[in-house]
Structure 1
Amino acid sequence: MVPHLITALTGPINELEQRILDSTPAIERWFRLEWMEHTPPFYCSVDIRNAGFKLAPVDTNLFPGGWNNLTQPMLPLAVQSAMAAIEKICPEAKNLLLIPENHSRNTFYLANVAQLQRIFHMAGLNVRVGSVDPEIKETKTIQLPNGDELTLEPVVRSKRRLGLKNFDPCTILLNNDLSAGAPGILEDLHEQYLLPPLHAGWSVRRKSRHFQSYEEVSKRFGKLLGIDPWLIHPMFAKCGEVDFAEGAGMDCLQTNVDALLTKVRRKYKEYGINEKPFVVVKADNGTYGMGIMTVHDAAELTSLNRKSRNKMAVVKDGQPVHDVIIQEGVLTAERMHDAMAEPVVYMMDRYVVGGFYRVHADRGPDENLNAPGSRFVPLAFAESTHLPQHGMKPGASAPNRFYMYGVIGRLALVAASYELEATDPEAEVY
């Protein structure tokens, strides 16, 4: 099932799709050369928005949940990619410890953990799930609505290693984004691979740093294709020392919002786009769709009510928001049964392994769809994961559309690899 676009099939997005399809050999070579120089994140998901006139990533998650939303036909590729990723890092790997989020009673999230366990088990590893939640003191088995069961065990830390009772893993896979900071129990591990690394967690990571890297990638990729990088890149600004609870730092926010809206208006005029520009203000280290608001005019910020300010003041795990990224808003022109939709692309190592549409019936084309009430519809990857079909008209073929989404997802993956290199505390500085 493929959502139909309400945008005209002669729009700029189809010209971009055609350019990408015509350039497939050059694009794939470009990615190969990038991966010779840089290491992709272990796994990743990317939220993409297709406005009909531009296509851009709006969020990149280095601890992706939602693996339970991938369909059965997508699993073989996920398993193969997991094998390739593990083989590269620890060829002799036998045991893998999977560490989920703390305090999660969300059965959809736990179904995602069970799906990851299944993927790595099929990749040939003994996989057990160990919790770093201090409240988990004994083994606990949870029945999931889909019939699966998940066994959570308390982790055991020896002087130099982390494992479970009678289980010593060489690889530890985090599905916990460390919003509240990295627990000491995960530090100073000896001869164990921690994936992703601690500095990928939200206690260190910043969205603005990622999009700075993505801007660099989009410029180089734009040059390769002979396109304006703006067509695949959301412009952004950042603002530090904001305090929504107290209403402090709002001048900085208003100034930056106004400046970015002016830039977007200029671009809309250049391309003859008759939409109303907007920006999205997000917590720079935010996650789970928290700490986000849409702004069409800087003046809106002067009259934020208490409820709106409180919503922006803290994110996951009660972390206060002081730094924000102001991102060019990208409309979504995708629809699924009249509900707004946006593609989410999943990758393991350097490979696109699947994805789905996030669909929300109660949100508008300029709103965040990662909110309560959203549902997930698998992308039509059954015919092919991301192999384009040449000779088809742009916009007419699902695999071509998804190949294009996969290209944008992989560009964000390259940007994430730059970002992790730049923030690696152990990297040598020349």
Structure 2
Amino acid sequence: MVPHLVTALTGPINELEARILDSLPAIERWFRLEWMEHTPPFYCAVDLRNSGFKLAPVDTSLYPTAFNHLTPEMLPLAVQAAMAAIEKICPEAKNLLLLPDSALVQRNPFYLGHLQRLVRIFSQAGLNVRLGALDLRIDQPQTLRAPDGGELLLEPLLRTPRRLGLKDFDPCTILVNDDLVAGTPAVLENLHEQYLLPPLHAGWGLRRKSRHFQSYEDVAKKFAKLLGMDPWLINPMYATCGEVDFSSPGGLDCVQANVDALLTKIRRKYKEYGINERPFVVVKSDDGHHGAGIITVRDARELPDLQQRCADKAAGVTEVIIQEGVATYERVHEAMAEPVVYMIDRYVVGGFYRVHAERGVDESLSGPGGRFVPLAFADGHQLPRPGDKPGVSAPNRFYMYGVIGRLAMLAASYELEATDPDAETYE
């Protein structure tokens, strides 16, 4: 299944697909060389948007929470990727401690399905997997019941001066599935004898979206040079404001100036490519709080009138990223759709379409009323077919998605290296 692309502007995206397919050997060699120099995140998920003239990542999660939406056909590849990742990190690994998001455990039953899937993947990769509670108020084992009737056991953590584990369970590797938006828990600090994945500076308490997209811009330029193309076709432009007060009369001056400047840049690109659409930007919290976005803006002069709406959605936000808006023109059964690519180590292991029938082309598709449709590259035997006409072949479309997803994953590796507090290059 290739979702219907509802736009007349299919030329640029089809040209991009053809260019990527024609360059497949060079692309795979380029990725191979990059991974010789850089360490991929242990796992990640990348949200993409396909406007028909541009395909770009709009968010990269280093703590993915929806492995349950990958079909069973995707599991063998996920298990193989998990094996490869573990072999590089701790070849003698026997025990894996999985630390779920405490809030999601309590309020989202589908998250338990995600945890079940992770346990299955890493168990089949040859590890004993148990769940530990980051909520230190949990002092007794708790049985969690998933929507399918299955059960998971969540156990209290046991911390010694140098190690973290459970009663009668000493893990080599600790896998965190909480994005640490509230900051770094003390129980995870100073673990000198175990592998903690992802590293602590990957948490949203320290991480910034603008730093990720700075790294992605570097990656996109390298990749575009390899293919002889304009990096804008795969790269959302952005700007930042570090001192924002949504409740103050002058608190949005920086935002307004940057929105105006960014919209001007986007209009120039639209004119260059003959795109007769009105551009927009999305103002987001730079530190990962408050969901996918605060506000969509098409004219900087709108901001004063929207200030109260911003203030209501952005309490406590003082740093924002202003990101070029990428509309989605893909449809699944006439509902808006955007692809999400899932990766373990340096491998694409699957993905799905996030679908929402009540959202517009310029809106986030996350939230109540949304649903998920597995991507067609669930069938691992569907390799790209370079001879097919662009825009009609599912394997080719999803190979292109996988390439852009891997670019975002590579950007995350650049980002984590640049922000590593223990690295000599830390700025």
Q: RMSD over aligned Cα, in angstroms?
A: 1.5
In the TM superposition, residue 103 of structure 1 has moved relative to its aligned partner by 2.7
For 1:317, the equivalent position in structure 2 comes to none
- AA aligned to 2:332 is M
Give the Cα separation in 1 of the matches to 2:289 and 2:11. Answer: 33
Q: Which is worse superposed, 368-377 or 320-329?
A: 368-377
Aligned to 1:423: 419
Partner of 2:408: 412
Identify the residue that residue 157 of structure 1 maps to in structure 2: 159
User: What does residue range 197-212 of structure 1 map to in structure 2 within 5 Å?
Assistant: 197-212=199-214
Runs of 4+ residues over 6 Å off in structure 1: none
Question: What TM-score comes out, normalization by structure 2 length?
Answer: 0.96
- Alpha-carbon distance between aligned partners in 2 of 1:328 and 1:103, rounded to the nearest angstrom: 31
Distance 1:169 1:136 in 2: 20
Conserved in 1, the CA contact under 8 Å of 2:73 and 2:379?
no
Give the match for residue 96 of structure 2.
96
Instruction: Check if 1:285 corresponds to 2:287.
Output: yes
Q: Aligned residue for 1:166?
A: 168
- 2:312 corresponds to which letter in structure 1? N
Contact 2:351-2:378 within 8 A present in 1 as well: no
SS at match of 1:217: helix
Inter-CA distance 287–67: structure 2 relative to 1 (3 Å threshold): farther
Cα offset for 1:384? 3.1
More displaced 10-residue stretch of structure 1: 291-300 or 411-420: 291-300
Read off the aligned partner of 1:108 and give its amino acid letter. F
Deviates more, 1:94-103 or 1:367-376: 367-376
Question: In the aligned structure 2, how far is the partner of 1:152 from the partner of 1:19?
Answer: 48
In structure 2, do the counterparts of structure 1 residues 291 and 385 end up closer, same or farther at CA, with 3 Å as the change threshold? farther
Q: Unpaired segments of 5 or more residues in structure 2? A: none
Matching residue within 351, 358, 375 for 1:362: 358
Shift of 1:292: 2.5
In 2, Cα distance between equivalents of 1:71 and 1:178: 28
Q: Deviations over 1:177-218 (max 9, x none)?
A: 100000111000131000000000011100000000000111
> How big is the shift at 1:308?
3.6
1:175-194 alignment, distance < 5 Å: 175-194=177-196
Within the candidate set 299, 302, 327, 1:300 is matched to 302
Alpha-carbon displacement from aligned partner over 1:136-157 (angstroms, at most 9, x marks no partner): 2210011111222121111110
Counterpart Cα distance in 1 of 2:14 and 2:2? 16
Structure 1 residue 121 corresponds to structure 2 residue 117: no
Whether the aligned pair in 1 keeps the contact of 2:174 and 2:196 (CA below 8 Å) is yes
Specify whether residues 365 and 417 from structure 1 end up closer, same or farther in structure 2 by C-alpha distance, changes over 3 A only.
same
109 and 247 in structure 1: CA distance in 2 versus 1, 3 angstrom threshold: farther
The runs of 5 or more residues in structure 1 that have no matched partner are 314-319
Instruction: State, as a whole percentage, how many aligned pairs show the same letter.
Output: 72
- Which sits farther off after the overlay, 387-396 or 335-344? 387-396
Q: Which secondary structure does the structure 2 equivalent of 1:406 belong to?
A: helix
TM-score if structure 1 supplies the norm length? 0.96
For these two proteins, the number of residue pairs brought into alignment is: 424
Secondary structure at 1:210's aligned position in 2?
helix
Q: Tell me the residue number matched to 1:7.
A: 7
CA distance in structure 2 between the aligned counterparts of 1:402 and 1:385, rounded to whole angstroms: 13
Alpha-carbon separation, structure 2, partners of 1:214 and 1:290:
18
- Partner Cα distance (1:231, 1:388) in 2: 21
* Structure 1 residues 75 and 259: CA distance shift in structure 2, 3 A: same
The one-letter amino acid of 1:64's match is P
1:74 — aligned with what? 74
Quick one: which of 215, 219, 233 aligns to 1:213? 215
CA separation in 1, counterparts of 2:244 and 2:175? 34
Q: Paired residue for 1:353?
A: 349
CA deviations over 1:75-94 (Å, ceiling 9, x no partner): 11001000000000000000
Corresponding position: 1:65 with 2:61 = no
How far is the alpha carbon of 1:290 from its aligned partner?
4.7
Equivalent AA in structure 2 for residue 390 of structure 1: P
Encode CA deviations 1:275-306: one digit per residue, 9 max, x unaligned.
Answer: 11000110001157255221111112101253
Structure 2 letter corresponding to 1:353: V
- Cα distance between partner residues in 1 of 2:259 and 2:183: 29
Instruction: Deviation per CA, 1:8-62: give whole Å up to 9, x if none.
Output: 4852100000000000000000000000000000001000000000100000000
Change over 3 Å in CA distance of 1:407–1:173 after alignment to 2: same
